[in-house]
Every structure is written in C-alpha cells, then in structure tokens.
Amino acid sequence: MKKILYVGSECMPFAATGGLGDVMGSLPAALKASAGEEADVRCVIPLYDKVSEDWRSEMKTEAIFTVELGWRKQYCGILSLEKDSVIYYFVDNEYYFKRGALYGHMDDAERYAFFSLAVIEMLSRIDFYPDILHANDWQSAMSIVYLNLCFRQKQGYEKIKTVFTIHNIEYQGKYDMSILADIFGIDWKHTGLMEWDNSMNLMKAAIVCADRVSTVSPSYAKEIQRSEYAHGLENLLIEHNYKLSGILNGIDYIYNDPHNDPDISKKYMWRSLKGKVENKLALQGELGLPQRADVPMYSIISRLVAHKGTDLVCEIGYKLMHEKDIQLVVLGTGNAEYEEYFRELEKQFPDKVRALITYDRKLSKRIYAASDIFIMPSKSEPCGLSQMIASRYGAIPITRETGGLADSIKGYWVDNGDIKGNGFTFANYSSAELYDRICAAYELYCDQKAFKKLQQKVMKTDFSWGISAGSYMELYNSI
C-alpha cells in the first residue's frame, strides 16, 4: 500500500481562498477513491480560526509537541478527522493561525516555516512515514527542504520521496536572505540552495530538493520554462526539466453538479436544458435585470486582476454593451480600478450589467447555472478551474489559449455536421480577438438548435479527477 501525504496551506471545505484549496479538497479523496486499498491518503493544513466549530467538534488530538524554529520554541498541536476515507491533519498554533485572513500577514514567512517544520516533525510523533510527501506551492515548500536538510538521518525519514506542485509560479515566497538563520533556523552553509536572484526563494529550494516537480497542466509545464511566464525561474526549470511534468486538474464532480446542487434555483442536466433557463430567469429576478429567457447571459467569475485578462474585457465593455443585446454578470473582487470600471458599466447599462464586487461561492453557483456563456481571457493560467465548472453547468467558455485553458478548452467548429471543440478560443492577448469570439458565441446563440447542441457537448466533457488521479498515481509509482 502506498502512503501519500498532501501538504498545503488551504483545503476545501475547511479553509480556502482559491484554486489551491479546491485541488487540496478534491484530489486526495479522488486518488483514494480510484486507488482504494492500494493507497493510504492523508492531507495536512494549518488549523486556521476559519475552520468552523462543526469540523472542530469532529477532530481528535493526535499529538502535542514543541517545534524549534531557530531560537523559537513554539507549541504545536496535531488534530485529525476522517472524511471520504482520507485522514486530514490540522496543525494547531493560535499565535500563527488565529489571524482572520489566511495570508497577507507581516510574518507569513515565519508562519509557513513553522507549519512546514511542524509537518515533518509530526511524522515521528504520529508514527506515520509516507512513501510520498506531496507539497503544494511556496507555503509548504519548506517541508521538503527541512526534510532533506534536517531529518534524513532520522529513522523513518530516510526513504520518503517528495513531489512539489507549482499551482502558480507568480507566488514564490521570496524573502531577504538575512532571515535565513533567524526565522528559518537554517545554517548559512545552505545559502546556495536557498538563494535565487539575490533573495531567499522558497519555491526555488523546493524545486531543487524535490524528487519530482509538477504543475497543474501540460501546457503550463512548458510555459514556465520561458521568461514570459516564469517570473524569473525559467533557467532553474530548464535545468530541472528532467523531473518536471504537467497534470491537468480536475474539479469536484459532487460539489459541482447541476443535477444535484442545493445552491441553485432549479436542478437540470444536459438531457433537458429547460431547468437551466429557469435558473437564468431566477437570477435575473434576483439581480433586478429584465427577466428574459431569450437574451444571452454572459458571465465572468474571477479575481479582478491583470493576469486574468480583466483589462481585455475593460477595453471592449462599452462597445459590447452599445452594440449587442446581451446581459453581463460579473462576480469577483480585485484591483480597485477594475472594480470601479464594472460598477460604472453597470451604472451606464443598468438593464444589461450587474457588477457583484464580492466573493461568494453560493452566488457563483447560481451564476454558472444561469449563464449561457462564460468569459475567461487570462493572460496566463496554470490550470484554471472556472472554465471547467462553467462547462459542467452548461455555460460555454470563451477562453484564451494559454496554460490549462489551452489544454481543457478547444475551439468550436463543425465538420460535416460533427461538432468539434468545446468552447470559443483565441490565441493572442488581444481585445479584438476576444470581441470576435464574444460575437461568434452570440451568433451561435441566435441559432438555438446549434447552441444547445454545443451546450450539451460541453456539459458532457469529462473534467472529473478520474484521469488525472491516475496520472498522479503513475507519477508516484515512477519515483
């Protein structure tokens, strides 16, 4: 039996802010479901104050010990609960994790150094030595580094193999080299390992130390070896590309299921799309938009930041609203100027636009269920999950051909009556190309029969974890 431990800074449904939390919350259970008795799958995250009382009441205490981080001696509790045949561990220290927001604190370097070291220390305390330790993103990168630098000689730790997954290379965990010994408790003789471009770089150190490095789509695995995408790590990744691969994420097919979703107005499936129209009418009612079944509803559910392609949408928003009989619903928060743009667009076109400047998972489900077309024109996208969720709810995606978007959504065309592709795509980072695809989707919408056919095909596209969970198992077996 293979023992696998996932390490990360967030995990649905306990505490999450984005895609990493979705993956941590669905991949371990999917892997367990497909491997059955062949795998013992566990997962560890910090015990944030965000984790609800309901979950806490299910937890039991596994161990209590002291973590020595440099000169600091810090309390550490390990709690656990079981869910979907996966054991979830929670690292408890209120000083570090009772903070409200998950990230964005002055001492994030120290908080996640503590977490990573606590995870490695935990293994001997609970007597669980995984075959594979799988860390995700910079916050847990140090677990692999500590394992290699400080624990390899200890009994039980010798043979643990490691995988590091990059969910977004933009966030590397870069700090001033001066805190190496004080905060991380790492000897200066490891400066070479920890340093990149004159700073300490946690992601870099994990890439060097890990047995395998993966990222969340095959295209992104290639892109991050190029300077346009790599945020300075391209040469490192070229050097280590012998151990680099890309595995496309899946989505949680139980949580994201229009046929069985308690959060939407009317359940539906690809066979009968009438229920989807009822969701549109209901959302229009809720948002005070004209209640019309015939108008195509476009949506954007995204952080409103530059790399999501928000500026492309801003370039064409007014033109689009002047020229087309459509509705646009935008959900998300981000840069103040984008938020303001969409608020203003709504003011100018109150019968067409709704700017919902907030983060609300349940509302996002109602929007996926209501909308006909989903816009996601990212500048870069490691994988992207929203285009997959949109597809599952029958909102046809318009995406730019980059990273995981390129791997999951292919352009629509008809070959001798046969539908090819599962969305509308464009290659260049250009608002004219985006506009063109928005119009192409509009035209198809006007031919309801053809539109429904594509919609049904899109809904049936398999974005479950099935295939990718198998690919991870192969990766683990290959080490």
Question: Which residues here bind ligand GLC, judged by CB under 6 A?
Answer: 18-20, 23, 167-168, 216, 249, 381-385, 404
Which residues is 376 bridged to in the sheet? 399
Report in angstroms how near the CB of residue 235 gets to ligand GLC at its nearest.
Answer: 22
The dihedral built from the CA positions of residue 147, 148, 153 and 157, taken in this order, carries a sign that is: positive
Specify the residue, 431 or 468, whose C-beta has the smaller distance to ligand GLC.
468
Distance between CA atoms of residues 121 and 314, nearest Å:
49
Report in angstroms how near the CB of residue 122 gets to ligand GLC at its nearest.
Answer: 24
Specify the residue, 216 or 375, whose C-beta has the smaller distance to ligand GLC.
216
The torsion angles phi and psi of 309, rounded to 5 degrees, stand at 85, 20
Which residues is 67 bridged to in the sheet? 74
The torsion angles phi and psi of 60, rounded to 5 degrees, stand at -120, 155
Percent helix, strand and coil across the chain, each to the nearest 5:
45, 25, 35
Specify the residue, 10 or 121, whose C-beta has the smaller distance to ligand GLC.
10
Specify the residue, 15 or 20, whose C-beta has the smaller distance to ligand GLC.
20
| Residue recorded with tokens 């938020």 | 339
Specify the residue, 327 or 386, whose C-beta has the smaller distance to ligand GLC.
386
Report in angstroms how near the CB of residue 378 gets to ligand GLC at its nearest.
Answer: 8
Reply yes or no: is the peptide bond before residue 13 cis, omega within 30 of 0: yes
Report in angstroms how near the CB of residue 415 gets to ligand GLC at its nearest.
Answer: 30
The dihedral built from the CA positions of residue 465, 471, 475 and 477, taken in this order, carries a sign that is: positive
Specify the residue, 80 or 333, whose C-beta has the smaller distance to ligand GLC.
333
Distance between CA atoms of residues 5 and 382, nearest Å:
23
Report in angstroms how near the CB of residue 332 gets to ligand GLC at its nearest.
Answer: 13
CB 368 within 8 A of CB 395: yes
Report in angstroms how near the CB of residue 281 gets to ligand GLC at its nearest.
Answer: 31
Specify the residue, 92 or 381, whose C-beta has the smaller distance to ligand GLC.
381
Structure tokens at 198: 């004159």
The torsion angles phi and psi of 214, rounded to 5 degrees, stand at -130, 160
Integer angstrom CA distances of residue 238 from 201, 303, 451: 17, 30, 43
Residue, CB closest to ligand GLC = 19
Specify the residue, 284 or 380, whose C-beta has the smaller distance to ligand GLC.
380
Report in angstroms how near the CB of residue 376 gets to ligand GLC at its nearest.
Answer: 10
- Give one word for 467, left, alpha or beta, with left for phi > 0 and alpha for psi -120 to 50: alpha
Specify the residue, 137 or 339, whose C-beta has the smaller distance to ligand GLC.
137
Structure tokens at 362: 């349940």
Report in angstroms how near the CB of residue 166 gets to ligand GLC at its nearest.
Answer: 9
The DSSP-derived string for 84-102 is TTEEEEEEE-HHHH-SSSS
Report in angstroms how near the CB of residue 461 gets to ligand GLC at its nearest.
Answer: 16
